[in-house]
Chains A and B, each alone.
Chain A
Amino acid sequence: MHNLGFALDGAWRVLLAGLLLGAGLPVLFALGIRSLAWADAGGVARPAGRTLGYGLFAVVILGVLLGITFIVATGFGKALSFEHIYPTIVPKH
C-alpha cells in the first residue's frame, strides 16, 4: 500500500497549508472588519483602528495575489518556490 503512504504524506501538507491560508487569511480578514468597526464605534474616531484594519486587508490581498500567481505560473509550466522564504517563480522540474 505505498499509495496510502504517499497520500497521507500529501494530506497533512495540504491540511497544514490549507489551515494557514484557507482559515488563517479569512480570520485576518475578519480581524480587519473588527478593527474598522472599532475605529468607528462610540462616536470617537480611532485612526489606529482604521490603519490596522486596512493593513490586515492588505495582507489578505497579498495572499490572494499569491494564489493567482500560482494559478498563472502553473498554467505556463512554472512552479512557485518558497526556497528563499519569499515566493519566486521557477521552472517546473
Chain B
Amino acid sequence: MTESTVILALVVITALGFDFTNGFHDTANAMATSIATNALRPKVAVALSGLLNLVGAFLSVEVALTVTNAVVKIQNSDGTPKESLTAHGGEALLIIVLAGLVGGIIWNLLTWLLGLPSSSSHALFGGLIGASIAGLGWAGVNWNGNGSKLDGVVGKVILPAIMSPVIAGVIAAVGTWLIYKVVTGVAQRFTDNGFRWGQIGSASLVSLAHGTNDAQKTMGVITLALIATGDWTDTKNIPFWVKVSCALAIALGTYLGGWRIIRTLGKGLVEIAPPQGMAAESASAAVILASSHLGFALSTTHVATGSILGSGVGKPGAQVRWRVAGRMISAWLITLPAAAIVGAVMWFIGDLVGGLGGAIVIFALLVAAAVYMYLRSRREPVGHHNVNDEWEDAPAQERVPASAGSAS
C-alpha cells in the first residue's frame, strides 16, 4: 500500500463522515414541523425521512463530479483534477480535500451542539475554500465566476443565501395567511386530520429532494479523490460502491436525527400549528424544486428556516421568537468563514507535518474534536423523548461555579 492510498482511505472515511453529519444536521429541515405538531411521532418521522433520503440518494444518477468548481479551482471543467495537483499520487489535492472536509464536519458538529440549523453545504464549501486559500492562495478560489452565468462564491453561495430564506418566507407567509382565511369556522375534526396528511406529504417531498441534492455532493468529492490518485478514470460515472456508501451514510445520519436542531426549528422559532406546518413544508418543497429547476443553487436549511419564520409571520396573532432567529442568522453569516478558517488551519497543520503523517494528524484532530463535542452534548441530551418540551426563553445564563479542573 502506498502513502497516497492510505491518505485516500482517510479522505473517503472523512467524506462519508461529512455526509453523515449532513444527514443529521438536516433532518430538521423536513421533519421539525411534523414532529412539533405531532403529525408524526418523532421516531417515525426520522425513519421516514431517512428512508426517503436513501431513495433520493439512489435517484441521483447524474454525475455531480464538478461540485467543487462552483467555489474553488482544483478541477478542470470536465471534472478531472488540475494536473498541477496530481503529482505524487495526487497528494496535494487529497490534503486540500481532507482539510476542507474536516473544516466542514467540525463546524457542522459545533452548530449541532448549539442547536443551530446552519447550512451543511456552506460548511463544506467553506472548508474547501479555506483549504484552497491555504494551499493555492487567493487565486485558488472561484470568487465571482466568469460572468457568463451565476457562478463562484458570490453567485452560488452568498447571493442565494441572502435571497432564498426571504423568498421561502414570503411564500410560506402568504400560504399560511390564505389557509387560515379559508378554514376559519371549519370544525377542528376536519382540519386536524386533513392538515396532518398535508404535512406528511409535503415533508416527504422535502426529504426526497434533500437526498437527491446533498448526497451527490459527497459522491462528487469522493470520486474526485479517486481520480486524483488514479484509482478511477471515468468522468461520466461514479463507482457504485461510492453511491451506495454515500446513500447509506446520509440516510443513517438522517435517521439518527439531529434532535437539538429539530427542537430549535420546531419549537424555538414559532409555536407551529398544523396549517402552518403544511404551509411551511410546501413552501420549502416548492422553492427547492423550482430553484434546482432553474439552476439556482441554495441551501435546504436556509429555505426551511425561512419558511418556518414565514409561517409565523403569516398566522394572525402568532409569536415569532426573533431572538432565536437572530442567533440563527448570525450562525449562517459565520458558517462559511468559520469552516474556511478551520479548513485552512487543518491544511497548514497537514502541510507542516507533511505527507501521510500530516493527513493522519488532521484526521486525529477531527476525531478528537468529534469525541469532545459528543461528550459535551451528553451533558444536556436532547432526544426523541424531550424534543417537544416547552421552549423556555432566555435560559438562565449564570453558571454553576466550575469545579476544579473541569473544562467549560
Chain A interfacial positions (CB closer than 8 Å to B):
2-4, 6-7, 10-11, 13-15, 17-23, 25-27, 29-34, 36-37, 40-41, 64, 67-68, 70-72, 74-77, 79-80, 92
Query: Do A30 and B151 contact each other (CB < 8 Å), given the known contacts A11-B167, A11-B296, A68-B208?
Result: no
Question: Quick check: A29 and B194 within 8 Å, CB to CB?
Answer: yes
Q: A5 to nearest B CB, angstroms?
A: 9
* Given A26-B179, A33-B183; A18-B190 close (CB under 8 Å): no
Q: A18-B167, A22-B171 are in contact. Are A6 and B291 (CB under 8 A)?
A: no
Q: Which of B256-311 contact A (CB under 8 A)?
A: 275, 278-279, 282-287, 289-296
Check if A23 sits within 8 Å of B290, measured CB to CB. Answer: no
* Interchain CA distance A19-B307 in the complex, whole Å: 12
Which residues of A are found within 8 Å of B179, using beta-carbon distances? 26-27, 30
Q: Which label, helix, strand, loop or mixed, suits the secondary structure of the A interface?
A: helix
Whether the pair B294, A26 counts as a contact (CB closer than 8 A) is no
Is B62's beta carbon under 8 Å from chain A? yes
Contact B183 A7 (CB under 8 A): no
Chain B: CB-nearest residue to A31: B182
CA distance A77 to B64 in the complex (A): 10
B400 at interface by CB-CB < 8 Å? no
For B164, list chain A residues within 8 Å (CB): 14
* A85: min CB distance to chain B, Å: 16
- Extra pairs beyond A4-B159, A14-B291 (15, CB < 8 Å): A2-B147, A3-B155, A11-B163, A13-B294, A23-B174, A23-B178, A26-B279, A33-B195, A37-B186, A64-B205, A71-B208, A71-B212, A72-B59, A74-B292, A79-B293
Taking Cβ atoms with an 8 Å cutoff, the residues of B that contact A are: 56, 59-62, 144-145, 147, 149-152, 154-155, 159-160, 163-164, 167-168, 170-172, 174-175, 178-179, 182-183, 186-187, 190-191, 194-195, 198, 201-202, 205, 208-209, 212, 275, 278-279, 282-287, 289-296
A19, B173: Cα distance in complex, Å: 10
Residue of A nearest to B189 (CB): A37
- List the 3 shortest-distance A-B pairs measured between CB atoms, nearest first: A22-B286, A75-B59, A23-B175
Please give the distance in Å from A21's CB to the nearest CB on chain B: 4
Residue of chain B at shortest CB distance from A39 = B190
Residues of A within 8 A of B150 (CB): 3, 6-7, 10
Please, which residue of chain A has its CB at the minimum distance from the CB of B147? A2
Minimal beta-carbon separation of B221 from chain A (angstroms): 18
Contacts of A19 in B (CB 8 A): 170-171, 174
With a cutoff of 8 Å between Cβ atoms, the chain A residues found around residue B275 in the complex are: 30
> Chain A contacts of B172 at CB under 8 A?
22-23
Closest beta carbon of chain A to B240's beta carbon, Å = 15
| Contact present for A10 and B168 (CB under 8 Å) | no
| B62/A76 in contact, CB under 8 A | yes
A26→B198 contact, CB < 8 A: yes
Candidates A6, A23, A29, A77; contact of B62 at CB < 8 Å: A77
A18 to B295, CA, bound (A): 15
- Nearest CB on A from B295, distance (A): 7
Query: Are A17 and B286 also in contact (CB < 8 A) when A3-B150, A6-B150, A33-B194 are?
Result: yes
Supply 10 A–B pairs (Cβ within 8 Å), ascending by A: A7-B163, A10-B294, A18-B290, A22-B172, A22-B175, A22-B286, A25-B286, A36-B194, A71-B212, A79-B293
Chain A residues whose CB sits within 8 angstroms of the CB of B170 once the complex forms: 15, 19
